[in-house]
Amino acid sequence: MKCIKYCLVILLSFIFLGKSFSQENDFKYSINGFVEIDHFSFFKEKRDFINHRNQSLLQLNIKSDFNDNFSFFSSVEFRNDLSDSRRDRIYLKEAFIDMFFPKIDLRIGKQVILWGKADGFNPTNNLIPTDYSDILDTDGEEIGILSANAKFYVNDWQIQGIFSPAFQASVFPSFNSRWQQNYPSLLSYNGLNLPTHFLWNNTEMHGNVFSDSQFAFKVSRNLKNLDFSFSYYNGLNDIPLIYNKIESVINDTINISITQNYYKHQVIGIDFSYILEKYVIKGEGAFFIPNSPKEAKTYFQYALGFDRAFNNIIYDKSLFVIVQWIQELKVKNLEYSSKDLNHLFQKNIMSRIEMELNRNMKLSLQLVYALKYEDFYIKPEFKYNISDGLNLNLSTDILGGNKSKEGFFSSYSDNTRVQIKLKYNF
């Protein structure tokens, strides 16, 4: 309720402030957004789990231009899920002011900051948390952070600095979500299969103290055929490190503690995109250097690939192809769980193909194959533009592969599903 009041007060105050301001100044504001109805069903139903989604979504965006160099933007989302009321929310997605000076752009407030030039996987993108409550549907689920974001323009160079005083964690699947990780009920111990008992250690809370603040900067340049940037991030990882420890074996039961640790780390990254004839070559890589605990180790993630448009991208009958290789390099013999969101992609090939059948219909196919786990994710999608602003999407998420390797996609092969979405932009 507090949240509703908070959002409405901000929205209304800016509308009224704008209206009164407009009496004397050249003030403009616009309201836009979208309404979406979204349904999905899993092919295999599971008892005690959420097996459907029937949600409606309204996003309202307000942009107010006080003058050419000063504006305000806010975005509020209203979500109602008939199948899972815990997903209901009224949520202030973004609310910030923009100030533009001759060589500096300044944005202050709650904002979504996305970094990286690769497609779908961006190791340099560490500033904002994400809502992973539905792991396959994270598009537009980035969570804005309260921050000051300044961009300086010096000749052809752009220097960006960001400071965020408060930490915000990502959102993870709820306990009866089909994405919740299952822990084994039996474990082998001294040659015997013994029942297990898992205990969650208290997670250290983070958020509103100065030591939990994060900062980052990026230096970028656009040349004739090449764009590149170097970046540095220092802050808490919004996806915790989860590690298990056998505490004791009592009465033939293994007691295992699970520790969830939001740890500080530094990330040094580089990304580029390079035009080679009709191809755009893209690369992005980052070193992740944890400050603590000892369980967290340094690792390097990168993505390298290309895209090629065989015609125009917007509106036209065209073919667009992305192919990308993703890899993680880590300390020898160290293994992460295949379900650890920090390490989902270890040796993967990703591809996306989009084909516009005509001016109103588009087919796309997304493929991810994990070489290490021999499992895959395939998403065929059909998009129909019913009228200007009104789109219908039909898609399926197909997960599968070699179950014995316990990869992410094969472990969740029961979560193969069909989705239908109707979206109207206004």
Partner 1 sequence: MKTFKFIMVCCCLLMFQTVYCQQMNGYDIMKENDKQYNFSTEENTMTMELINNSGQKRVRSVLRFLKKDENKNTQMLIRFLSPADVKGSGYLLIKNKKKDESRYLYLPALKKARRISSGEDSDNFMGSDFTYEDLDEIDLENFSFKLMGVEKIDDTDCYVIEVTANEETKKISGYSKRVYFINKMTFVIHKVDFYDRRNSLFKNLVLKDIKLVYANNMYRPHVWIMQNLKTKHQTVLRFQYFKINEKINDDLFSVRSLERLN
116 touches 105 (CB < 8 A): no
Scan residues 12-51 and list those touching partner 1 (CB under 8 A).
Answer: 32, 34
Please count the other Cβ atoms lying within 10 Å of the Cβ belonging to residue 345.
20
In three-state secondary structure terms, 410 is: helix
- Candidates 3, 114, 363, 371; binder of partner 1 (CB under 8 A) is 114
**Which run of H or E residues covers position 15?**
helix 2-22
Scan residues 340-399 and list those touching partner 1 (CB under 8 A).
Answer: 359-360, 385, 387-389, 391
Return the DSSP state at 411: H
CB nearer to partner 1: give 333 or 387. 387
Rounded Cα–Cα distance for residues 121 and 285 (Å)? 10
- Candidates 141, 307, 340, 406; binder of partner 1 (CB under 8 A) is 307
- Candidates 315, 329, 347, 371; binder of partner 1 (CB under 8 A) is 315
**Residues 137-166: x/- map of binding to partner 1 (CB under 8 A)?**
--xx----------x-x----x--------
CB nearer to partner 1: give 157 or 183. 157
What are the φ and ψ backbone dihedral angles of 122, each rounded to 5 degrees?
-130, 90
70 binds partner 1 per the rule CB under 8 A:
no
Return the DSSP state at 142: B
CB nearer to partner 1: give 166 or 321. 321
Please count the other Cβ atoms lying within 10 Å of the Cβ belonging to residue 258.
15
278 binds partner 1 per the rule CB under 8 A:
yes
What residues contact 259, with CB distance under 8 A and at least 6 apart? Answer: 201, 203, 242, 243, 244, 245
- Candidates 245, 291, 312, 420; binder of partner 1 (CB under 8 A) is 312
**Which run of H or E residues covers position 400?**
strand 390-401
Query: Which amino acid appears at position 298 of this protein?
Result: T
Q: Greatest CA separation found in the chain?
A: 82
Scan residues 218-257 and list those touching partner 1 (CB under 8 A).
Answer: 222, 224-225, 227
Rounded Cα–Cα distance for residues 107 and 110 (Å)? 9
- Candidates 62, 127, 280, 350; binder of partner 1 (CB under 8 A) is 280
Rounded Cα–Cα distance for residues 365 and 157 (Å)? 37
314 binds partner 1 per the rule CB under 8 A:
yes
100 binds partner 1 per the rule CB under 8 A:
yes
Report in angstroms how near the CB of residue 278 gets to partner 1 at its nearest: 5
CB nearer to partner 1: give 308 or 347. 308
Residues that bind partner 1 (CB under 8 A): 32, 34, 100, 105, 112-114, 117, 139-140, 151, 153, 158, 222, 224-225, 227, 273, 275, 277-280, 307-309, 311-317, 359-360, 385, 387-389, 391, 423, 425-426
